[in-house]
Amino acid sequence: MIRLHSISSLGLLFSLVACSGVSAPDPSGHAGGAGGGSAGRASSAAGANAGAGAPASGGRGATGGGGANSGSATSGGTAGAVGACCSAGGRSSGAGATGGAGTGGARETGGGAGTGAAGIGAAGTGTAGMTGDVTVTLPPLVTSADGAYWKTYAALTTATATATVTVNDTSPAQKWDGFGGAFNELGWSYLTSKDMQDQALTLLFSASDGAALAWGRIPIGASDYAVSRYTDDDTGTDVTPKSDESNRPPEDASLAQFSLDRDAQKLIPYIKAAQAKNPKLRFWASPWTPPVWMKTGYKTNSGADGTESAKKPSYFDGGNMKSSAADLTAYAQYYARFVSGYKDQGIAIEVVSPQNEPGYDQNYPSCLWDAATYVSFIGQYLGPAMKAAGVNVMLGTLSNAGDGGRSDVDLANAVLADPTATSFVSVVGAQWGVLDWIDDGMTKLGSLPVWATEHKCGNYPWCTSTSNGCPSAYNASEAPNDQAYAEESWYYLRDAITKGKVTAYNAWNMVLDKAGLGIDTTRDWKQNALLVADAGTVHPTPAYYVFRHFSQYVVPGATVVGTTGGDAVAFKNPDGSLVAVMFNGGAADANYVVALGGKKFQFAMPSHGWATVKYKP
């Protein structure tokens, strides 16, 4: 994640080189195409970081729960992945018959005996489809508002009045790869009992009782929400740097000290617990810093006030990636061992990013890259190593769109100008400033799909008031897990999907405590999460429900479709069901009408609230 004083409002895109979109799973469970995610666009003048994205994801076919005469017939799709890049295993489902205004119950199938073909991207390998069927009946209407989140309704009421929102499924846009969130050590550490773990993972990953997140982002080494600084090949402790760097830990070019022991303490248990809720969960990974012996320099000033010295400098924080062949070779092999080690744990990583926010150095694990080294690493080292491992490479996660004289867009364009490097890239990861840049209608990065790889995380410490362009949820005394931030999150999601045309959208922290602090040693940045762990209980935040209004109903492999009127985003799932997600920023409307699939449905839309309607014609 990245947070600086004042970055211009920019949008960020990522795309797949070999394929410019993702195809929806067909009934046999094969899906082609690539993934993309979207990050929301802040109205703030200060950029920061956003959404986490991931490649194409397997479909989770489920139709809305029914009114009268609901059915439950299915056509079991098989999982598996096939395609030129970032193809995804699909879980297609047939729909039950619809009755009256209600939609039929549907069956989400995990595939037969895993007959879907294995494969992702140019590498042509991957994880074959998993087995197991899950029957999920979703209510056709759900609404949320302050104090009344997630009210479900068993049936839809037909109407003849003029529609407030009209869904036009004859104007398809981008394919959808899924919603996701980031696994971080601190999140798992706050789930201090088995009951809390079960509460959180159900809310996040259950298809029937939760947000049904399809993607998980895994940090390679410490993120800013790790318990402490580390990488998977540390050669020394986190010492206070000397000005001549004479105490920098020694090199380990042979990776003799590589170990996933730290990951086994919190990250791997966290991920495995999520897999127990959603066995088809898919993964991508990115580092915040390489091992410190691969870098020169470190961040000496404060991220809060660049004129002041860093309060507690560390070799993990900032610095520049070395460009020697020996270091880049070792780093590519570091990735290969990471991917292989996770695969041995039953966790298949499908996409990796070369660096989280390569244009920002921070007072938490971070690293700066120059364009030549970035291009060389992808084209000559990381790309070939990941191709051999059957893993795709993300061009990102990109965040800095011009702050402080640096731009991740320049790094991206340098890669795209190099045919060898470009041949290994399958998707662009965009967040914060770069995503804003994309949302604002700037030229996309090549023909690659774009994922929003990190949602903006509130309480922007560089903001002083809303009058300077900062959003409403700024400078709070604790993390802004409130209705105001939920409304802000709606606009980020809406704009990334409808303007930025992202094909996937990732939340940042899925779980935190009330304070929301990471390991930044300079800024008191209290960040939000989808869930807050407090006093032995897990509490969904208002922003969680905004994500769930999308993610529980929109199946990976869906297509974004057009809308007119109101404030809405709509999708067409692979089974033909239509999903409209709507926000009402004004007074309550007892006669709100949505038109979709040749029908009109009326319901009571709350003030400053959301509604999701699902209907299969």
Please state whether beta strands 504-509 and 178-182 pair in parallel, antiparallel, or not at all (unpaired).
parallel
| Cis amide linkage into residue 521, ω under 30° from 0 | no
pLDDT at 585 over 60: yes
pLDDT at 60 over 60: no
E strand residue ranges, 349-503: 349-352, 392-398, 425-431, 450-454
Q: What kind of architecture, by CATH, is found in domain 179-552?
A: Alpha-Beta Barrel (3.20)
Residue 149: per-residue pLDDT: 98
Torsion angle, alpha carbons of 273, 276, 280, 284, to 10: 10
CA–CA separation, 56 vs 503, rounded Å?
8
Residue type, 529: A
**Residue found under tokens 């290994």:** 424
Residue 306: per-residue pLDDT: 93
Tell me the C-alpha to C-alpha distance, in Å, between residue 190 and each of 165, 185, 228, 365, 506. Answer: 41, 9, 15, 21, 21
| DSSP class per residue in 409-447 | HHHHHHHHT-HHHHTTEEEEEEEHHHHHHHHTTPPPSTT
pLDDT-derived band at 465 (thresholds 50, 70, 90) equals: low
For range 516-529, the mean pLDDT: 94
Instruction: List, for residues 153-196, the tens digit of each pLDDT value.
Output: 999 999 999 999 999 999 899 999 999 999 999 999 999 999 99
Provide the residue ranges of all domains of the chain, joining segments of one domain with +.
179-552
pLDDT at 25 over 70: no
Which has more pLDDT, 524 or 574? 574
pLDDT at 1 over 70: no
Residue 459: per-residue pLDDT: 79
- From the DSSP assignment, how many helices (H) and strands (E) are in the chain? 12, 25
Q: Interhelix angle for 542-551 vs 483-498, to 10°?
A: 30
For range 551-573, the mean pLDDT: 98
pLDDT at 328 over 70: yes
CA–CA separation, 557 vs 24, rounded Å?
4
249-265 as b/e: b if 16+ CB within 10 A = beebeebeebebebbee
Instruction: List, for residues 91-140, the tens digit of each pLDDT value.
Output: 333 333 333 333 333 333 333 333 332 333 333 333 333 334 456 889 99
pLDDT at 374 over 80: yes
| DSSP class per residue in 94-150 | PBPPPBTTBPPPEEEE--SSS-SPP-BTTTTB-PPPPP-EEEE-B-SEEEE-TT---
pLDDT-derived band at 479 (thresholds 50, 70, 90) equals: confident
CA–CA separation, 156 vs 611, rounded Å?
12
CB 548 within 8 A of CB 489: no
CA–CA separation, 94 vs 103, rounded Å?
12
What are residue 614's DSSP bridge partners?
Answer: 579
Tell me the C-alpha to C-alpha distance, in Å, between residue 56 and each of 11, 34, 68. Answer: 21, 5, 35
Comparing C-alpha atoms, which of 21, 53, 110 is closest to residue 560? 21
pLDDT-derived band at 517 (thresholds 50, 70, 90) equals: very high
CB 615 within 8 A of CB 597: yes
For range 60-74, the mean pLDDT: 33
Residue 61: per-residue pLDDT: 34
Q: Which of 70-74, 455-459, 527-531 has the lowest mean pLDDT?
A: 70-74
Instruction: List, for residues 184-230, the tens digit of each pLDDT value.
Output: 999 999 999 999 999 999 999 999 999 999 999 999 999 999 999 99
What's the whole-model pTM score?
0.81
CB 427 within 8 A of CB 53: yes
